[in-house]
Chains A and B, each alone.
Chain A
């Protein structure tokens, strides 16, 4: 029975990935992408990686899906306005059949084959017998948390997680740099007039906040943590923007900058504090580790949520 479900999931995932890439229309590709994300999340659950499944469903499928839907709307608006003109220009442009030279395809193909071979070799060389699992679990009492995934992310490999928060901030900065800050200062969307939508959003806001807080705290003992909580909190910001309350643009500019950077900053300061008292970079004293991890996770979640809201608010101005 299990093998049946797993193979069905595997086939569906690959099939949907192909359908997504080969979809003739942009809108179709976006909707297939949602289904693909769902399958991927289910696959992660079947593999026992619930942390990854939540992150996949929330960030990769949910947040990116929302951004895609929004750009789809922009496209369709532009298209419906200029449809006649677009068709006119399109008919004038001579269609080039060989716009991609065969060498490009060959190079891409060879690169992919090389990548595949390296991946297979890497899998081959994974040490038998669980790799680092035993070491990770043996040191759990010292890490301050009870869930091995959280221990790896926030304690053993805190440096990686710190950089990940940095990546999100870099993404935000890149979007600002590409779009220009001037437009960003304008209030967000025009107030949505729909009372039903606004009411639903008001019902969902406390639920999302509570569930995010739960995931944040629960990360200590099981699947959950800063990133998963951050997406739920970010979803509050996005929903409020959609409902005509552009919360993020109401917050003073200085405050926004603090919100977006506090996670990264506090994490870094904490890492250096340990060096000052003679420890290693990002080494926590075992006695306070649990508390420090909770503080770091909370601030990181606030920063990521603010960054996600900012990205959405900026892209959909």
Chain B
């Protein structure tokens, strides 16, 4: 019973971060703040959901696998967000350079 309550809390927390991230992605004004919203969803949302599912399956091997899925997603999403941000910054720089 306690376990189920924990699972529900973790999953709801995960869904909340995904919702907040999606809202931010849709509503935030510029690319950098949108990326910020997106990484919240990816890191915390997926982390909570992964923790909830690991608790639900309750097998050590599955937990290890889910943990690796989370870590790899973190790694790839962080790098791709960084690359998108860098590309945007370089474009803005070259644009400003032209105007001056």
Contacts and interface: CB of A to CB of B under 8 A. Distances in A.
Nearest to A207: B72
Main secondary structure of the interface of B (DSSP, over half): helix
B95 to A, nearest CB: 11
Interface in A202-251: 203-204, 207
A200 B72 contact: no
Contacts of A207: 72
B75 A196 contact: no
A203 B75 contact: yes
B83 A194 contact: yes
Contact of A196 (B72, B76, B79): B79
A197 B80 CA distance: 8
A204 B82 contact: no
B86 interface: yes
Contacts of B72: 204, 207
A194 B76 CA distance: 15
Interface in B28-53: none
Q: Which of A194, A200, A203, A204 has the most CB of B within 10 A?
A: A200
Contacts of B76: 200, 204
Nearest to B72: A207
A119 B53 CA distance: 40
A207 B71 CA distance: 12
Contacts of A196: 79, 82-83
B83 A197 contact: yes
B75 A204 contact: yes
B21 to A, nearest CB: 16
A203 B76 CA distance: 10
Interface of B: 72, 75-76, 79, 82-83, 86
15 contacts: A194-B83, A194-B86, A196-B79, A196-B82, A196-B83, A197-B79, A197-B83, A200-B75, A200-B76, A200-B79, A203-B75, A204-B72, A204-B75, A204-B76, A207-B72
Enumerate the 7 nearest inter-chain pairs by beta-carbon distance, A residue then B residue, closest first. A200-B79, A196-B82, A197-B83, A200-B75, A196-B79, A197-B79, A203-B75
